[in-house]
A and B are shown apart, each in its own frame.
Chain A
Amino acid sequence: MAAVTADQKTQSTSGTAKAAGTEAGPAGTAPEAADAALLAAFDAAVAADDRIEPRDWMPEAYRATLVRQMAQHAHSEIIGMQPEANWITRAPSLRRKAILMAKVQDEAGHGLYLYSAAETLGTSREELLDKLHAGRQRYSSIFNYPTLTWADVGAIGWLVDGAAITNQVPLCRCSYGPYARAMVRICKEESFHQRQGYELLLALSRGTEAQHAMAQDAVDRWWWPSLMMFGPPDDASSHSAQSMAWKIKRHSNDELRQRFVDICVPQAEALGLTLPDPDIRWNEERGQHDFGAIDWTEFQQVLKGDGPCNEQRITQRRRAHEEGAWVRDAAAAYAAKHTAPSARTAQPAQPAQHVEETA
């Protein structure tokens, strides 16, 4: 955690310097007074539910929080490809295989949107990937759990994507424009994936005895980790209050978790599957479901890097990146040789024999 904090500080400082350099008041104004005016304008914009856009001034901590959250979100999309891709080559029907391939492809696309959105804050995809590979930025702890059977693909769609949607739909109204707009598109596709996951589980649940058992086992293993996706309880969540004040976040972790449980209980019933929590029951007084205690020790352990697949996931990601370096180098070298002179005024001159060719 210390590394991430230091890292945020570096990024946010450079971001503020850039904003102050271009948008601060007339020369000679005291920096404090200029900052106070900018901060007042920012606060007013947030209060009025206006969108903050990349060129607007923003507090450095706001920028840092967004970079951290959006990077983590982007990283989750690409690490999240692994547990599902694990089953592409073994999908039991061609229809399911096509659905799964399309889903994993969408996730790569979501990663691309989110890195682009994060880049509007003055960072770069390369920089963020380097931080992921160095363990300095996180991804969702859920992807450190293994996919052991085909039914896990359905449980991920139903529960993991379901939890993600519950978390992310409010982000469509997030105060930072590029993030909010990315989420509108991502949420549409995620809802589609979630329905497909549900439908996959339904087919298993209504299938043979062995298929039903496979579905139940997957739900048993994915239920609690899915609840952990909403983050620590409100009284232990360090970023929540500030994020809510900035309207990055609209609801607390516990509120969203409760909403998710209330959605899932009837869906589990319709699926003909049970949730692995004997304490789930309808609370007439609250108009919500009560549910059992989450094992926060496990959550902390997975977060610290000691979950079942942490090592495997990051190793595969690093390996793909390292083994692909020569491909990226080749693309860059080719582009340098074949880009027209007018399009690369900032670059050093290229060998003459390559310049006239524009591929």
Chain B
Amino acid sequence: MSDDSDKGPSRRGFLGAMAAGGALAAGGARAASDPLITEVQPWNQLLGEGVDETPYGLPIRFESDVVRRDVPWLTADPISSVNFTPIHALEGTITPQGCAFERHHAGAIELAKPDYRLMINGLVDRQMVFTYADLERFPRETHVYFMECAANSGMEWAGAQLNGCQFTQGMIHNMEYVGVPVRLLLEEAGVKPEGKWVLAEGADAAGMTRSIPLEKMLDDCLVAFKANGEALRKEHGYPARLVVPGWEGNMWVKWLRRLEVGDEPWEQREETSKYTDVMADGSARKWTWVMDAKSVITSPSPQAPITHGKGPLVITGLAWSGRGTIRRVDVTTDGGITWHEARLSGPSFSKALHRFHFDVDWDGSEMILQSRAIDDTGYVQPTKDQLRAFRGENSIYHNNGIQTWLVMPDGRVENVEIS
């Protein structure tokens, strides 16, 4: 990494020299002085921006790579489509809302709070209408949950295809939600004894609908109106969305306008044509609601190559399970011959993203990196080949197979599969 060291006292050259100097330090070599230290820099001398400059800020321009990306060939148009969270560049567990992925079926609509209505109808004692202001008067709860698209990693069923964890695992975000338990809303309407299912419906032109068992709705579902401290973003369902912890993202109906109680499921388009998982024999699973335990190393990864040469290297990644908390994450650097327990780092909430770290001293040789999540039910994240043995390659959804990164001696990283 010292090939720039002859270019004079630029920052780039200095760092190269420092890397070389670091290796020689024990021999007593003295590093060249760093002009970023020895010369007065403009930010140390001139004034910065005033507090009236930015009422609501965006990230500094140097972070312009930390943005949503889309893959145009995936869908017919960008309205019923998906984009991807830049998980390769994020740390911790909370996803910044501004770069948290989007999936719409008829675009992101603008629905003002005064125009918002939530209806509860069907097998209830009283068909009800609530305004947004009504929602804010119910007792609230606060929870952190991941929301993963059922199709996350779906393009990888038949083999390594997209090069970057943003694209292969980035249909996910993790937010701290505040909202009203659906249970309280249903109690207000009074569910009749024969009520077993709830149809959730959105206000957009897709009229997004999913059938959800009443039991799940009463257990932990929320009608959320705040995420990561503020109102939901337009593209995430402003002013209110359904939160269905641990279950596939399609069920988290945005711009939620109606909950209907019934005695049978509705078998809507999004639970028959879509979000059903074709098996090798041509039959298909339906109602595959829960998202199983999964993980990915976010750095190094194809979009986050190693640029610092040999020595200390932080391996960082995310793990999550729709069945509960993550108990352990294992990491291998040799493609699964030997595994090491990583450190879980930060909060560990049920059905939420967990951060793991594994610190190594890289000798500059090729590595084959994988992570393996284990949740608190004892479920161990399977390999892609293990999943294919049960399901074939056509199920599109629910690919929680172990991801492999090939780290080359020059620090580049590639999405690969191994035997």
The answer to whether A binds B is no
